[in-house]
Amino acid sequence: MKTETRWVKTILWVVGTVLGLVASYAVAGLIGGSIPSNRDWRAPAEGVHIFVESNGVHTGIIVPKVAAGVDWRGVARAEDLRDPRYGAFDHVSFGWGEKAFYLETPTWADVKLRTVVASAVGSDRTLMHVDHLPRPRPGDGAREIVLTPAQYRRLAAYIRASFRDGGARYRGYAGYDAFYEANGRYDAVRTCNAWTGDALRFAGVKVGWWTPFPVTVMGWF
Cα 95 to chain centroid, rounded: 4
What average pLDDT does range 153-165 have in this prediction? 98
**In this structure, are residues 211 and 194 in contact, taking their beta carbons and an 8 Å threshold?**
yes
Kindly report, residue by residue over 164-213, the tens digit of the pLDDT.
999 999 999 999 999 999 999 999 999 999 999 999 999 999 999 999 99
Name residues whose C-beta falls within 8 Å of residue 70's C-beta, 6 or more positions apart in sequence: 63, 152, 153, 156
Q: pLDDT: is 15 or 53 the higher one?
A: 53
pLDDT value at residue 19: 63
Q: Is the pLDDT of residue 100 over 60?
A: yes
| Prediction pTM value | 0.88
pLDDT interval class at 23 (50, 70, 90): confident
**In this structure, are residues 169 and 179 in contact, taking their beta carbons and an 8 Å threshold?**
yes
Kindly report, residue by residue over 43-98, the tens digit of the pLDDT.
999 999 999 999 888 999 999 999 999 999 999 999 999 999 999 999 999 999 99
Count of beta carbons in the 10 Å neighbourhood of residue 175: 14
Give every strand in the sheet of 91-98, ordered side by side.
142-147, 48-54, 59-64, 91-98, 126-133, 177-181, 169-171
Distance, CA of 145 to CA of 41 (rounded, Å): 12
Distance, CA of 115 to CA of 173 (rounded, Å): 18
Distance, CA of 82 to CA of 22 (rounded, Å): 39
pLDDT value at residue 146: 98
Name residues whose C-beta falls within 8 Å of residue 155's C-beta, 6 or more positions apart in sequence: 50, 61, 63, 147, 199, 200, 202, 203, 205
Domain ranges for the chain: 35-218
Distance, CA of 81 to CA of 96 (rounded, Å): 18
